[in-house]
Structure 1
Amino acid sequence: MKFLMTAAILLLAGCAAGPAIDRSHPAASQDSRVRYIIIHYTEGDFPRALDVLTNGQVSSHYLISDYPAKIYQLVDEDRRAWHAGDSAWKADTQLNFSSIGIEIVNPGYRDTEAGRVYFDYPRAQIDLLVALLRRIVERHQVRPENILGHNEIAPRRKSDPGPRFPWQVLAQAGLVRWPEPERVAAWRIAFEERLPDAAWFRQKLRRHGYVFAGKGEEGDWDAAARQALTAFQMRYRPARYDGMPDAETAALLEVLDGLGGDAAAQLPSEPAPYQMRTRWLGGR
């Protein structure tokens, strides 16, 4: 009887462990499912953000606190977090399936009589973010043009990480593309002579990656195109992001289009110092 009981226990243990799997022949044709990294601000303080992201209906892979700055991993990178929502970039939709989400503790913005004010990011947060991005990019081979803000993949409904997020610092770290200022200046002069029409701006925005509804390649400058252009301006021309076509925005679109998906941005040899500041931005 004792022998039968021992045999039964061993049999059950074997069933619970599952079949033996030989993993000694990995296929050459494989890569990571992660194609994008999406950057957010929390629009609230750390305790509230941590509670929402761990106990609520939304989540992110990482959360970077502010004072003190610290990285928290909330979701394993091989699992899906619910951070992107209804989203699209180029041919990809529902980017929760193919992205890693990083939330940064930041108040976001405050509406005042003088307009909407956005808040800067402490340098310690950005330093941690750069270090984290380097490791994620190395693990998953995420391309520079696929490190995006939430507002870029959902321009109709989101504004984070906002115009105060220092994208140029990420460019100086070699993580994202940045247009060469001299080329932008040259194209701006050309576009001041003759500004392209609405169809040109729509086409350039879509080539860049933005997905938006509207009147296709024809018609007036509508709300959907304006929202996409606002997101673009927040990233590349944060001094003014009114969503309206102008020569400088056209130059930025043209130069970035010329960089191509594989080209590295031409960056200054010495990164400019990052200075924290809060700035009043009227209107939006």
Structure 2
Amino acid sequence: MSAIERIGLTPGQIQGFVDDGFVKIEAAFSAKLARLGRDELWADMGLSPDEPQNWTQPVVRLGFKSSPPFVEAANTPQLHNAYDQLVGPGRWLAPEGVGTFPIRFPSPESPGDDGWHVDVSFGTDNPDFMEWRVNVKSSGRALLMLFLFSDVGPNDAPTKIRKGSHAAIARELLPYGEAGASLRQLSATGYASTENCEVELATGAAGTVYLCHPFLVHAAQAHRGQRPRFMAQPPLLPKREFDPNLPPSPVQIAIRQACGLTI
């Protein structure tokens, strides 16, 4: 095990996660795993990296992938250490793969899915996805994660992140209690409480992972580059509900600070 795998996130990175709502981990998985993953995804789409004339859609969506490259990418020692540090040892489930994949292609067309939003985490059996829910405890989701399986520059449709927006969302969720708010309720104001947040772009080399607070407001955008962007956006699932008898994790500390609760 290398020194970086033993050390994990620095105190500054953890505090950055609490304050900004995310941490960027470079080389979280290898370039080889990223390439193997891309090869599978190209095959699943029936497309080729050498035939751009067939890239006719701005976005192609693929589901959950559980073959070895994806399982290995999500379970490196460095990421396991980071999961422990942000969520708490023994409080998360080891990913059995990653997904979904909104694969974005260079296109003058709007992708049609580029609105600001928060990823909801329970009530997903409701056929109306706008009624899917999230509560102030983040039931059903320990982290939002962005896995870059290709190099992503500023023109390659990087996910837009509103820094610090998780705090505003925590405050909005507090009055809804255990039942939480639906996506329809949360999006009714267009996330106006976060519109003044600084925007960060989720760029990086293949193998980069962004570990994000579950309440982070983010958005897709159109691809204005040359090569397709391969990115997965899986949740890290909690092993159980947050236990108030355990020391609060950075995920919980961020929520409690935002809501003015005792840490």
- Name the structure with the higher helix share: 1
TM-score by length of 1: 0.25
Which structure: larger Rg? 1
Q: Kindly indicate whether structure 1 or structure 2 has the higher relative contact order, using CA contacts under 8 Å at least 6 residues apart.
A: 2
